[in-house]
Chain A
Amino acid sequence: MVGRWVNDVAIRLTDVTKTFDGSSGAAVDRLSLDIEDGSIMALLGPSGCGKTTTLRMINRLIEPTSGSIEINGVDVMSQSPQELRRGIGYVIQQVGLFPHRTIRSNIATVPDMLGWDKRRISDRVEELTTLVGLEHELLDRYPDELSGGQQQRVGVARALAADPPVLLMDEPFGAVDPIVRARLQDELLDLQTKVRKTIVLVTHDVDEALRLADRIALMNVGGVVEQLATPDDLMRSPANQFVERFVGDDRGLRRLALNTVGNLPFHQGPVVADSAAIGEVERVLAAETSDWLGVTREGRFAGWAPADEVRSTMGAGRPLEAVVLQPPVAHVEPSNTLRAAMELIMVSNSSVAVIDDGGRFGGVVTLEDIRRSLAATGS
């Protein structure tokens, strides 16, 4: 076995099959899956596709009928279930906090069982509380005194308490309202940049999978993987009709949420520095066929002016600096999604958004830029 192992695979499922007693078909059928270390793998699919069963076989809440599961090269069957589970974070939809224990004691569950000393446990609890963005005064409350969003944060903190390399999440944000869900998803991504866990996420929500996962295993009833791909690949080239139907007709639009403004090729747009001469201004306006001219001052975007006004001012011999500028309506950052940029352009009723790259002018985005980028990577 030594040598076959690839270093960056954290979880490896090989021909894993689960048939429940009294059921004719398999819930999961000869599933093989490599999950890279430090990545988020989403198990996505309709109910009954075996995604939760697959997840629960990783920490042996369900025992596979056949096949093998290895975590960092160690077969999960080689340890006792309790020992195995204490080394794996587990987050579920209904959170499952212990109602009779304070938040502090809930978070300390696994370190307590592992016999950490009091000082170390208390330090770790404080650290996690900050990490998941929970107010410290909540630590001595009971779960029923917290909101759904707060409870879910406690659930994540509890799962991370003993710093396990692997985190299993079963519909973790399914029970909170959409606004809180979006915030928790952002927080998870933010958290992941700090802790770099190998996360297996079960969800039936395409958007959630697209937003969070590095790779998606789209599963179908009977526990078979229809397609294993990055979110963008899944949207761009669905492997079959099932995938196409599951991800929806608007997969083109969904891809907008997967690409950021920073990925677009640089586009200067009808923008010049405020020191530009009339010749340069005319050349830029003609090239971009624009009625508006953007002006930068010391590398920052200063505003827009109507082309006619620029021409008449400069025609009268005055410099570009003398033109009164209108502040930009729409500006985006390189980390914004194309979807956000597009929405901004639409609602601001302009044809272009200015990219603000940490205070510097970073080019412009037009609807045409967005369209072209989807076409370029599409097939």
Chain B
Amino acid sequence: MSPAALVAEATNPIIRWEWVVEESDQIRAAIIEHLTLTVLALALGMVVSAILTALILRFRWMTTPITATTSLIYTLPSVALFALLAPVFGNLSRWTAVLPLAAYTLLILVTNTVAGFLSVPQPVRDAADGMGMSPLRRMWSVELPLAVPYMMTGIRIAAVSTVGLVTVAAIIGQGGLGRLIFSGLRRAFWTPMTVGASLSIILALTLDAVLLLIAAWLTPWQRRKRTPES
């Protein structure tokens, strides 16, 4: 290793803890911004996908157009989408980041929610009708709870992929931890990159674990399955 490289490694290690301490306010702000963007995008995605799912369940012919559209959105490169929306909403508007992020969740959320409702066994529906449940009550007290495991699977996948996509929004000046990564890259200074990258991984894993716990809490019957004897 050349002397210059040795000096560079000494002054620019993978992580320099003094920087972390000095910039802890900036790091905390980045985490909060990252989380805020993720939660807003997920929340918006869930509201829109609920409407789309309702449309699909009510009018089956809408399955193809809705699936095609959400799939198309999903295939768009994220950098391109952020860049396209920046002039529309302005660089500094949070919605410039949230709207595309939410749009990316739709395919996963709609597909899983629809699958959840379709997974309700016909005899269960039949029994609900036969007991005298109105269609609305059947929907709320039977079909929705039974769709929850599928919906939660969709939300977990969407959450993890949104945490990843938020970093990309740094190109339009948003992006939470992504901004740390990009500034580190620009300055060839490894510490912010390391911090930004590892924190976004930790954030994704934590969010996934929290959602997994929520799913388990919402579906107690799923934990207690066993092979029944005769």
User: Which residues of A are interface residues toward B (Cβ below 8 A)?
Assistant: 59, 61, 81-87, 90, 92-101, 109-110, 113, 141-150, 158, 168, 177, 180
Contact = CB atoms under 8 A, between A and B. Distances in A.
Contacts of B129: 61, 85
Contact of A86 (B131, B224, B229): B131
Interface string B203-227: 0000000000000000111001110
Interface string B147-163: 00000000000000000
A99 B146 contact: yes
A39 B128 CA distance: 26
B133 A147 contact: no
Nearest to B124: A96
Given A61-B126, A92-B126, A113-B133, A145 B230 contact: no
Interface in B178-195: none
B48 interface: no
A59 B124 CA distance: 17
Contact of A92 (B123, B142, B145): B123
Q: Sort A-B residue pairs by CB-CB distance and give the 8 closest, nearest first.
A: A96-B127, A90-B130, A85-B132, A86-B132, A94-B123, A96-B123, A142-B221, A147-B228
A348 B96 CA distance: 89
Query: Which of B129, B137, B224 has the largest number of chain A CB atoms within 10 A?
Result: B129
Contact of A61 (B121, B123, B130, B224): B130
Interface of B: 121, 123-134, 137, 142, 145-146, 219-221, 224-226, 228-230
Contact of B131 (A83, A90, A144): A90
Contacts of B224: 141-142, 144-145
Q: Is the interface of A mostly helix, strand, loop or mixed?
A: mixed
Query: Which of A83, A109, A150 has the largest number of chain B CB atoms within 10 A?
Result: A109
A263 to B, nearest CB: 34
Given A83-B132, A85-B131, A147 B230 contact: yes
B9 to A, nearest CB: 58
Nearest to A106: B127
A16 B124 CA distance: 28
A90 B226 contact: no
Contacts of A168: 130
Contact of A98 (B124, B130, B229, B230): B124
B120 to A, nearest CB: 9
Contact of A113 (B123, B124, B131, B219): B131
Contact of B121 (A84, A85, A94, A158): A94
Given A94-B121, A144-B226, A100 B145 contact: yes
Contacts of A148: 228, 230
Given A113-B137, A144-B225, A168-B130, 13 more contacts: A61-B130, A85-B132, A87-B132, A97-B127, A98-B127, A99-B146, A100-B146, A101-B221, A113-B133, A142-B221, A142-B225, A147-B230, A150-B228
18 contacts: A81-B132, A82-B132, A85-B132, A90-B131, A92-B126, A92-B130, A93-B123, A94-B121, A96-B124, A96-B127, A100-B146, A113-B132, A142-B221, A142-B224, A142-B225, A144-B225, A145-B224, A177-B230
A79 to B, nearest CB: 10
B199 to A, nearest CB: 37
A61 B126 CA distance: 9
